[in-house]
Structure 1
Amino acid sequence: MLLERLSQRAIAVRLDDVPEDGLAIARLAILDTVGVTLAGASEPCTQIAERALGAVGKGTATLFGRSAMVGPLDAATINGTASHALDFDDCSNSLGGHPSAPVVPALWALAEQEGASGATVLDAYVTGVEVETKIARGVNFHHYEKGWHPTATLGTFGAAAACAKLMKLDALVFTNALAIACSMASGLKANFGTMTKPFHVGQCARNGLYAALLAREGLSANPAAMEDPQGFLMVFNGEGKFDAERMIDEFAAPFDLMEPGIAFKRHPCCASTHPAVDALLRITAEHDLEAADIAAIRSWTHPRRLRHTNRPNPQSGLDGKFSVQYVLARAVLDGSVRLDHFEDAAVHDPQVRAFMSRIVAEPHPEAVMESTEHFFADVEVTTTFGETFRTYVDRPLGRDRDHPLPPGALETKFRDCAAPVIADDAARAIEAAILGLETQANIRTIGDVMREGVRQTEPRRAAFG
């Protein structure tokens, strides 16, 4: 059965099997996720999730950005929501979503409860990402285009697998965890642009952790819940719309975090807008253009990406994160796209609204729907003095190993994310600990530093660009 085969391969993953550059990516991904979670801790969606649970002040797991500890399931929910609150977390071409945010909050909460070592956490993280992304290879992109939010639906399996691996569950119980996860997966793209999108991640982190805990306690499930006629594949994708063998044949060969790799975000908005932003910034820099010099902008992107980013009239900050027109206007007017651009008031700035009228976003006429190469953009700028400049970006910076961010960029991003929330010395200690994760005897020590370093003043919002 499919889940049995997946479980066997997941259990067989060893850190010794992961090349050093793959481990370096994994450490940076965990660091990046911790950073964006700290930055998202004070967002309204995170605070709502916390209030609704009413669980602060009791438990074994750190609540990021707070001095409190809560129960592991509550920590996974709240920290998971925070990790995606700013849409600044990493991405995956295979997943069609965000690979680390579903896994790290669930794994961190469990690791603190269990007193797990850093090496154990790193091994579990690599395993969780591999499971979710290989399932994704078997169901995408029909799964994505049908309206499911893969970060949430498939991230549930990543969280469950990571937690099962950390608890060293045997093959039978590990399979049960994934079978339980089949009934817990959920998340609709209809809620993009609202607080429910980041809550998807909190929910799937919790559900993945809960599935693994339930399996450890003996809850039964159908080991054929993936391929059953009324199982995950048929219900979520439908007959003829998946390839189950791709999940198995390509498992850890290569590891997905290496090929196609983890995509790290340069801009704090929907990744589908990033290629157009990079192309436009390149044009304005190369030709020394300012907003007053620009008469019109045309952006062509893959229809799969434009479907949820063609928003010429965003009504909120969250909505603005998914508006290619809005982020392009900000890129021109401010020279970068920053977190403070996604305040509700910023989206209604009259100057920005006026400039957005010069921007047209269209599907690229040569796009191939079956292709996995869908993170490109073709941008054309017409100036007020009659010149036209056009640039094509195949993938944005940070999208893969062939388009890396500048060296040290992720470490700088982590410090910027952490700065409003925790003291600088605590942030430096956390950064060093995560970048040397295998040397940490107990992950709880990092949580201790995080809680003790929380700033007592009201956090200010960091400005990223």
Structure 2
Amino acid sequence: MSVAEKIAEKIVQTGYQELPAEALHWAKVAILDTLGVTVAGSREPLAQIVRETLIEEGSRPECTVLGLGLKTSALNAAWGNGLLSHALDYDDISNTMGGHPSVPILPALLALAEQRRFAGRELLLAYTVGFETECKIGRGVNFFHYDKGWHPTSTLGIFGAAAASAKLLSLSTADCARALAIAASMASGIKANFGTMTKPLHIGQAARNGLVAALLAAKGFSANPSVFEARQGFCNVYNQEGQYRLEAMTEGWGAPFELVRPGVAIKQYPCCGSTHSAIDALLSLIREHGFKAEDVVSLEAMLHPRRLVHINRPQPENGLEGKFSLQYCLGRALLEREVILSHFTDEAVRQPEIRKLMERISASAHPQMEWQSSEHFGAEVKVELKTGKTLKAHQEKAIGRGPEIPLPRERLEAKFLDCWSQAYPRAAGAALMDKIASLEMLEDARVLFESFSPAQWEKMKRRSS
């Protein structure tokens, strides 16, 4: 039996009754968070380009693109929502996957759920299976895959989207294996495009193409089930011979589910997750000692070298680059004592005050953090004050980085409503939170889309008046 067939067998055999309460809890947390950041992403400059492109393309208006006042085909909606979900780089993270696990999966599932009739528990099961699939494949290819320059959110996320879609469509084992094999030929995304609109494009492509793979497989489209282990297959081409572990892709399925341990990380800052531990460390020093930007002579952040590769940008030129600049993110934390959505506009990044402050902020590789270590999200911050005093703080993991240090519920809800209110009434967001909280009880998941309907907002107003 090939690797794809073994994974497919796991996908088909996993039932809702096997999901522990913890898995359901984290699935609902991740779904809520992803819906919020997708709505907020609809206010980014790239969203108008997406909207114009979809309108010009023209298609059957059956599925919602969040925040754009637009309905389109299922495939186009998966593409559009995938793009928007990652536009802010505010979406959740999986260390195992080496990327953002929910954004390739949920847009594909939302498109199917709006197009057809599925119960909430079917959506939760499909999401969990997709998460498990992309993370198991990640265990087989990372971190060589990540370090080589691939963007795992898309190159591995496409398998999560294909698996989740296949599960929701109740495909057979053979069909699931073909879906994964088809997806392998559409896996793409390179890290050279980080800090540009093309990074979230990777996710739109992964969500759409994962759904395409499942739909084609359901109709008997052929593909090589040995696509992972073949001499010119995914592992040898995307990694290289000797730099992957096929057995890791199927070991320990659901024991526990990846969604539970090591779990999903929820971002509290709208910038690259590699910056978060350093931000937390700096803010803890500010809270403890009360210093301000004008009191600081220099600020040095030391991180794992793997993290530093794509966030060591001393002088970002625009909002997107600012999300991938450790110097900018720390400068904002120092100036504002917070890091929020409004800090990542082009105008904010180009302000003279922050550009001058960044000259005092440096980043380097931590001498005690080895490249091969699997624990690579820690950071140490050292602040030299004008008084001559030097302050230090170490943060092993950012707050929200996993179930052992979860983002408090009130912060999760505040983040969601802040994101939601960028495009929709807060009351509709509160109603959606209630629906997600009891998602497993919904007989028809299409009721979720009522929260995106202006007609429903009018009904809410009348009920509250």
Normalised-by-shorter TM-score class: over 0.9
* 1:15 Cα deviation after fit: 2.4
Query: Over residues 261-297 of structure 1, what are the superposed CA-to-partner deviations in whole Å (9 max), with x where a residue is unaligned?
Result: 1000010000000000000000111001111111110
Q: 1:408 aligns to what?
A: 410
In structure 2, what is the Cα distance between the partners aligned to 1:319 and 1:244? 36
The 5 Å alignment of 1:122-271 reads 122-271=124-273
* Other structure's SS at 1:263 match: coil
The residue identity in structure 2 corresponding to 1:2 is V
The residue identity in structure 1 corresponding to 2:12 is I
In structure 2, what is the Cα distance between the partners aligned to 1:250 and 1:160? 20
The residue identity in structure 2 corresponding to 1:253 is A
Out of 305, 308, 316, the position equivalent to 1:306 is 308
In structure 2, what is the Cα distance between the partners aligned to 1:230 and 1:379? 45
In structure 2, what is the Cα distance between the partners aligned to 1:139 and 1:454? 46
Q: 1:84 aligns to what?
A: 86
Q: 1:454 to 1:205 in 2, by over 3 A?
A: farther
Identical amino acids, percent of aligned pairs: 48
In structure 1, the gaps of 5 or more residues are: 457-465
* 1:30 Cα deviation after fit: 0.3
Is contact 2:428-2:457 (8 Å) kept? no
In structure 2, what is the Cα distance between the partners aligned to 1:57 and 1:44? 23
* Other structure's SS at 2:250 match: helix
Query: Over residues 218-270 of structure 1, what are the superposed CA-to-partner deviations in whole Å (9 max), with x where a residue is unaligned?
Result: 21000111111011000000000000101111221111111111000010000
The 5 Å alignment of 1:30-69 reads 30-53=31-54, 54-55=56-57, 58-69=60-71
In structure 1, what is the Cα distance between the partners aligned to 2:115 and 2:14? 23
Please state if 1:440 is matched with 2:436.
no
The residue identity in structure 2 corresponding to 1:306 is L
Is contact 2:132-2:259 (8 Å) kept? yes
* 1:452 Cα deviation after fit: 2.7
Give the TM-score, by structure 1 length: 0.96
Q: Which moved more, 1:54-63 or 1:409-418?
A: 54-63
The 5 Å alignment of 1:368-407 reads 368-407=370-409
Is contact 1:64-1:451 (8 Å) kept? no
Query: Over residues 393-429 of structure 1, what are the superposed CA-to-partner deviations in whole Å (9 max), with x where a residue is unaligned?
Result: 0000000111121232212211111112112222122
Q: Which moved more, 1:438-447 or 1:198-207?
A: 438-447
Please state if 1:452 is matched with 2:454.
yes
Is contact 2:451-2:457 (8 Å) kept? no
The residue identity in structure 2 corresponding to 1:275 is S
| C-alpha RMSD over aligned residues | 1.4
Is contact 1:422-1:455 (8 Å) kept? no
* Other structure's SS at 2:90 match: coil
Q: 1:289 to 1:405 in 2, by over 3 A?
A: same
Q: 2:463 aligns to what?
A: none
Q: 2:18 aligns to what?
A: 17
The 5 Å alignment of 1:83-102 reads 83-102=85-104
The 5 Å alignment of 1:409-428 reads 409-428=411-430
* 1:368 Cα deviation after fit: 1.5
* 1:55 Cα deviation after fit: 4.4
In structure 2, what is the Cα distance between the partners aligned to 1:3 and 1:80? 25
In structure 2, what is the Cα distance between the partners aligned to 1:368 and 1:71? 47
Is contact 2:43-2:422 (8 Å) kept? no
* 1:450 Cα deviation after fit: 1.3
Q: 1:27 aligns to what?
A: 28
* Other structure's SS at 2:453 match: helix
In structure 1, what is the Cα distance between the partners aligned to 2:207 and 2:238? 19
Q: 1:459 aligns to what?
A: none
Is contact 1:56-1:68 (8 Å) kept? no
The residue identity in structure 2 corresponding to 1:230 is Q
Out of 366, 369, 382, the position equivalent to 2:368 is 366
In structure 1, what is the Cα distance between the partners aligned to 2:207 and 2:457? 26
In structure 2, what is the Cα distance between the partners aligned to 1:396 and 1:253? 25
Q: 1:329 aligns to what?
A: 331
The residue identity in structure 2 corresponding to 1:391 is A
Q: 2:462 aligns to what?
A: none
* Other structure's SS at 1:92 match: coil
The residue identity in structure 2 corresponding to 1:435 is A
In structure 2, the gaps of 5 or more residues are: 459-465
* 1:453 Cα deviation after fit: 6.3
* 1:46 Cα deviation after fit: 2.6
Q: 1:169 to 1:72 in 2, by over 3 A?
A: same
In structure 1, what is the Cα distance between the partners aligned to 2:453 and 2:106? 17
In structure 1, what is the Cα distance between the partners aligned to 2:455 and 2:347? 31
In structure 2, what is the Cα distance between the partners aligned to 1:193 and 1:202? 16
Q: 2:109 aligns to what?
A: 107
Count of paired positions: 456
